[in-house]
Amino acid sequence: NAGVMQNPRHLVRRRGQEARLRCSPMKGHSHVYWYRQLPEEGLKFMVYLQKENIIDESGMPKERFSAEFPKEGPSILRIQQVVRGDSAAYFCASSPRGRQDTSNQPQHFGDGTRLSIL
Amino acid sequence: AQKITQTQPGMFVQEKEAVTLDCTYDTSDQSYGLFWYKQPSSGEMIFLIYQGSYDEQNATEGRYSLNFQKARKSANLVISASQLGDSAMYFCAMREGGNYQLIWGAGTKLIIKP
Protein backbone atom coordinates (compact mmCIF):
# COMPACT_ATOMS: atom_id res chain seq x y z
CA ASN A 1 0.00 0.00 0.00
CA ALA A 2 1.71 3.17 -1.19
CA GLY A 3 -0.83 5.53 0.37
CA VAL A 4 -0.60 7.66 3.50
CA MET A 5 -0.48 5.36 6.50
CA GLN A 6 -1.79 6.43 9.87
CA ASN A 7 -1.77 4.43 13.05
CA PRO A 8 -3.41 3.59 15.20
CA ARG A 9 -6.81 3.78 13.57
CA HIS A 10 -8.49 4.14 16.94
CA LEU A 11 -6.89 5.31 20.18
CA VAL A 12 -8.48 5.49 23.59
CA ARG A 13 -6.84 7.40 26.41
CA ARG A 14 -7.83 8.50 29.87
CA ARG A 15 -7.68 12.13 30.85
CA GLY A 16 -4.13 13.13 31.69
CA GLN A 17 -2.44 10.49 29.54
CA GLU A 18 -0.38 11.09 26.46
CA ALA A 19 -1.51 10.31 22.91
CA ARG A 20 0.91 9.64 20.05
CA LEU A 21 -0.40 9.56 16.52
CA ARG A 22 1.79 8.39 13.66
CA CYS A 23 1.78 9.18 9.99
CA SER A 24 3.90 7.81 7.17
CA PRO A 25 3.49 9.90 4.01
CA MET A 26 3.12 8.52 0.54
CA LYS A 27 6.32 7.35 -1.05
CA GLY A 28 8.13 10.29 -2.56
CA HIS A 29 6.23 12.86 -0.49
CA SER A 30 8.25 15.03 1.86
CA HIS A 31 5.51 17.36 3.07
CA VAL A 32 3.11 16.39 5.82
CA TYR A 33 0.03 18.16 7.11
CA TRP A 34 -2.02 17.39 10.19
CA TYR A 35 -5.71 18.28 10.42
CA ARG A 36 -8.27 17.80 13.17
CA GLN A 37 -11.91 17.01 12.57
CA LEU A 38 -14.45 17.48 15.33
CA PRO A 39 -17.77 15.61 15.02
CA GLU A 40 -20.08 17.02 12.34
CA GLU A 41 -17.46 19.52 11.18
CA GLY A 42 -14.96 19.97 8.40
CA LEU A 43 -11.23 19.62 8.90
CA LYS A 44 -9.15 22.30 10.57
CA PHE A 45 -5.47 22.75 9.74
CA MET A 46 -3.08 22.17 12.60
CA VAL A 47 0.52 21.97 11.39
CA TYR A 48 2.66 21.62 8.28
CA LEU A 49 6.02 19.89 8.39
CA GLN A 50 8.84 18.99 6.09
CA LYS A 51 11.57 16.57 7.06
CA GLU A 52 13.09 17.82 10.33
CA ASN A 53 11.32 21.18 10.04
CA ILE A 54 8.08 22.66 11.27
CA ILE A 55 7.00 25.12 8.60
CA ASP A 56 3.70 26.32 10.04
CA GLU A 57 2.12 25.37 13.34
CA SER A 58 -0.36 28.23 13.43
CA GLY A 59 -3.34 25.90 13.77
CA MET A 60 -1.97 23.91 16.65
CA PRO A 61 -2.82 24.71 20.28
CA LYS A 62 0.15 26.30 22.02
CA GLU A 63 0.06 23.95 24.96
CA ARG A 64 0.15 20.17 25.15
CA PHE A 65 0.38 19.64 21.38
CA SER A 66 3.58 19.06 19.46
CA ALA A 67 4.53 17.58 16.11
CA GLU A 68 7.69 16.30 14.51
CA PHE A 69 8.81 14.77 11.25
CA PRO A 70 12.25 13.29 11.79
CA LYS A 71 14.75 12.47 9.10
CA GLU A 72 13.96 8.81 9.52
CA GLY A 73 10.58 7.45 10.46
CA PRO A 74 7.02 8.71 10.52
CA SER A 75 5.64 12.06 11.50
CA ILE A 76 4.35 12.11 15.07
CA LEU A 77 1.57 14.23 16.52
CA ARG A 78 1.86 14.19 20.29
CA ILE A 79 -0.80 15.33 22.72
CA GLN A 80 0.21 15.49 26.36
CA GLN A 81 -2.19 15.41 29.31
CA VAL A 82 -5.19 14.80 27.11
CA VAL A 83 -8.58 16.28 27.98
CA ARG A 84 -12.08 15.35 26.82
CA GLY A 85 -12.04 18.17 24.26
CA ASP A 86 -9.17 16.49 22.43
CA SER A 87 -11.55 13.76 21.28
CA ALA A 88 -11.61 14.04 17.50
CA ALA A 89 -10.44 12.46 14.29
CA TYR A 90 -6.89 13.45 13.39
CA PHE A 91 -5.96 13.26 9.74
CA CYS A 92 -2.57 13.35 8.18
CA ALA A 93 -2.06 14.32 4.55
CA SER A 94 1.01 14.44 2.36
CA SER A 95 2.04 16.06 -0.89
CA PRO A 96 5.17 16.00 -3.00
CA ARG A 97 5.67 19.73 -2.69
CA GLY A 98 4.59 22.41 -0.28
CA ARG A 99 4.80 26.15 -0.26
CA GLN A 100 6.23 26.43 -3.73
CA ASP A 101 3.58 24.14 -5.03
CA THR A 102 0.95 25.34 -7.40
CA SER A 103 -2.58 24.94 -6.20
CA ASN A 104 -3.46 21.86 -8.15
CA GLN A 105 -1.71 19.20 -6.15
CA PRO A 106 -4.26 17.38 -4.05
CA GLN A 107 -3.23 16.42 -0.59
CA HIS A 108 -3.52 12.68 -0.12
CA PHE A 109 -5.05 11.71 3.17
CA GLY A 110 -4.61 8.79 5.48
CA ASP A 111 -7.59 7.06 7.02
CA GLY A 112 -7.28 9.11 10.20
CA THR A 113 -6.87 8.30 13.87
CA ARG A 114 -10.00 8.50 15.99
CA LEU A 115 -8.97 9.63 19.45
CA SER A 116 -11.40 9.07 22.28
CA ILE A 117 -10.75 10.42 25.75
CA LEU A 118 -12.45 8.70 28.65
CA ALA B 1 -16.01 35.39 7.52
CA GLN B 2 -16.47 31.88 6.20
CA LYS B 3 -14.08 31.10 3.41
CA ILE B 4 -15.95 27.99 2.28
CA THR B 5 -19.71 27.71 2.64
CA GLN B 6 -21.69 24.55 2.08
CA THR B 7 -25.30 25.50 2.66
CA GLN B 8 -26.80 22.00 2.55
CA PRO B 9 -26.20 20.11 5.79
CA GLY B 10 -27.97 17.06 4.37
CA MET B 11 -29.59 15.78 1.20
CA PHE B 12 -31.70 12.79 0.26
CA VAL B 13 -31.59 11.72 -3.38
CA GLN B 14 -33.18 8.82 -5.23
CA GLU B 15 -30.77 6.29 -6.66
CA LYS B 16 -29.83 6.94 -10.31
CA GLU B 17 -30.74 10.61 -10.12
CA ALA B 18 -28.18 13.35 -10.53
CA VAL B 19 -27.30 15.41 -7.49
CA THR B 20 -25.69 18.83 -7.08
CA LEU B 21 -23.83 19.73 -3.91
CA ASP B 22 -23.33 23.44 -3.38
CA CYS B 23 -20.11 25.18 -2.48
CA THR B 24 -19.36 28.89 -2.43
CA TYR B 25 -16.01 30.36 -1.55
CA ASP B 26 -14.48 33.66 -0.58
CA THR B 27 -11.00 34.72 -1.56
CA SER B 28 -9.23 37.81 -2.87
CA ASP B 29 -6.47 35.75 -4.47
CA GLN B 30 -6.45 35.38 -8.24
CA SER B 31 -4.79 31.98 -8.05
CA TYR B 32 -6.52 29.30 -6.05
CA GLY B 33 -7.65 25.71 -6.23
CA LEU B 34 -10.90 24.07 -5.25
CA PHE B 35 -11.15 20.45 -4.16
CA TRP B 36 -13.93 18.06 -3.32
CA TYR B 37 -13.43 15.17 -0.95
CA LYS B 38 -15.74 12.31 0.02
CA GLN B 39 -15.83 10.87 3.51
CA PRO B 40 -17.81 7.64 3.80
CA SER B 41 -19.03 6.38 7.16
CA SER B 42 -15.81 4.39 7.52
CA GLY B 43 -14.09 7.74 7.97
CA GLU B 44 -11.38 7.95 5.34
CA MET B 45 -11.01 11.08 3.21
CA ILE B 46 -11.11 10.43 -0.53
CA PHE B 47 -10.06 13.02 -3.11
CA LEU B 48 -12.65 13.36 -5.89
CA ILE B 49 -11.97 16.31 -8.15
CA TYR B 50 -10.00 19.52 -8.51
CA GLN B 51 -10.68 22.85 -10.24
CA GLY B 52 -8.07 25.56 -10.67
CA SER B 53 -9.02 29.20 -10.78
CA TYR B 54 -7.42 29.60 -14.21
CA ASP B 55 -8.96 26.49 -15.70
CA GLU B 56 -11.28 27.48 -18.51
CA GLN B 57 -13.18 24.23 -18.59
CA ASN B 58 -15.13 22.59 -15.82
CA ALA B 59 -13.32 19.63 -14.31
CA THR B 60 -14.73 16.14 -14.81
CA GLU B 61 -13.73 12.79 -13.32
CA GLY B 62 -15.98 9.93 -14.28
CA ARG B 63 -19.41 10.55 -12.74
CA TYR B 64 -18.15 13.65 -10.95
CA SER B 65 -18.10 17.07 -12.52
CA LEU B 66 -17.55 20.50 -11.08
CA ASN B 67 -19.81 23.37 -12.07
CA PHE B 68 -17.36 26.23 -11.69
CA GLN B 69 -18.84 29.74 -11.84
CA LYS B 70 -15.97 32.06 -11.10
CA ALA B 71 -17.92 35.31 -11.07
CA ARG B 72 -20.33 33.89 -8.54
CA LYS B 73 -17.52 32.20 -6.61
CA SER B 74 -19.25 28.87 -6.66
CA ALA B 75 -17.86 25.41 -7.30
CA ASN B 76 -20.72 22.95 -7.11
CA LEU B 77 -20.12 19.23 -7.34
CA VAL B 78 -22.40 17.30 -9.66
CA ILE B 79 -22.71 13.53 -9.33
CA SER B 80 -24.47 11.90 -12.25
CA ALA B 81 -26.44 8.65 -11.99
CA SER B 82 -26.09 8.40 -8.22
CA GLN B 83 -25.41 5.05 -6.60
CA LEU B 84 -26.02 3.73 -3.11
CA GLY B 85 -22.27 3.81 -2.52
CA ASP B 86 -22.30 7.57 -3.00
CA SER B 87 -23.89 7.99 0.43
CA ALA B 88 -21.28 9.88 2.43
CA MET B 89 -20.19 13.28 3.69
CA TYR B 90 -18.87 15.55 0.97
CA PHE B 91 -16.46 18.37 1.70
CA CYS B 92 -15.46 21.32 -0.42
CA ALA B 93 -12.00 22.74 0.27
CA MET B 94 -9.86 25.56 -1.08
CA ARG B 95 -6.17 26.29 -1.31
CA GLU B 96 -5.32 29.95 -1.85
CA GLY B 97 -2.40 31.19 -3.93
CA GLY B 98 0.90 29.78 -2.79
CA ASN B 99 -0.53 28.51 0.46
CA TYR B 100 -0.40 24.87 1.34
CA GLN B 101 -3.15 24.42 3.86
CA LEU B 102 -6.62 23.45 2.78
CA ILE B 103 -9.57 25.45 4.09
CA TRP B 104 -12.64 23.28 4.52
CA GLY B 105 -16.38 23.70 4.44
CA ALA B 106 -18.62 22.08 7.03
CA GLY B 107 -19.70 19.35 4.64
CA THR B 108 -22.93 17.99 3.19
CA LYS B 109 -24.28 14.61 4.20
CA LEU B 110 -25.63 12.86 1.12
CA ILE B 111 -27.94 9.87 1.48
CA ILE B 112 -28.93 7.93 -1.61
CA LYS B 113 -32.29 6.18 -1.32
CA PRO B 114 -32.88 2.87 -3.14
Share of chain B above pLDDT 70, in %: 99
Minimal Cβ distance to A112: which of B32, B43, B93: B43
Is B93 within 8 Å of A42 when comparing Cβ atoms? yes
- Give the residue with greater pLDDT, A72 vs B74: B74
Number of neighbours of residue A53 by Cβ within 10 angstroms: 9
Is A91 within 8 Å of B45 when comparing Cβ atoms? yes
Average pLDDT over chain B, rounded to an integer: 93
User: What distances in angstroms separate CA A98 from CA A11, B35, B36, B48, B105, one per listed residue?
Assistant: 29, 16, 19, 20, 22
SS3 B1: coil
B36 lies within 8 A of chain A by CB:
no
Average pLDDT over chain A, rounded to an integer: 90
Is A43 within 8 Å of B47 when comparing Cβ atoms? no
Question: Sign of the CA dihedral A60, B38, A112, A54?
Answer: negative
pLDDT in tens, B17-60: 999 999 999 999 998 999 999 999 998 899 999 999 998 899 99
> Measured at the alpha carbon of residue A73, what is the angle toward residues A108 and A28, in degrees to the nearest 5?
40
Number of neighbours of residue A28 by Cβ within 10 angstroms: 8
Q: How confident is the model at residue A103 (pLDDT cuts 50, 70, 90)?
A: low
pLDDT for residue B100: 78
Q: How confident is the model at residue A102 (pLDDT cuts 50, 70, 90)?
A: low
Q: How confident is the model at residue A117 (pLDDT cuts 50, 70, 90)?
A: very high
pLDDT for residue A48: 93
pLDDT in tens, B61-92: 999 999 999 999 999 999 999 999 999 999 99
Q: Are B7 and B22 in contact (CB under 8 A)?
A: yes
- Strands B108-113 and B60-61 come out as unpaired
pLDDT for residue A96: 79
Residues in chain B: 114
pLDDT for residue A37: 94
Q: Are B76 and B64 in contact (CB under 8 A)?
A: no
Nearest residue on chain A to B49, alpha-carbon basis: A106
Q: How confident is the model at residue B1 (pLDDT cuts 50, 70, 90)?
A: low
Residue closest to B37 by CA, chosen among A31, A30, A22, A112: A112
**Beta carbons within 8 Å of B34's beta carbon, 6+ residues apart:** B23, B25, B50, B51, B52, B53, B66, B68, B75, B92, B93, B94
B105 lies within 8 A of chain A by CB:
yes
Which range is least confidently modeled, A25-39, A95-109, B24-38, B74-88? A95-109
Q: Mean pLDDT, to the nearest integer, of B96-104? A: 84
Nearest residue on chain B to A101, alpha-carbon basis: B98
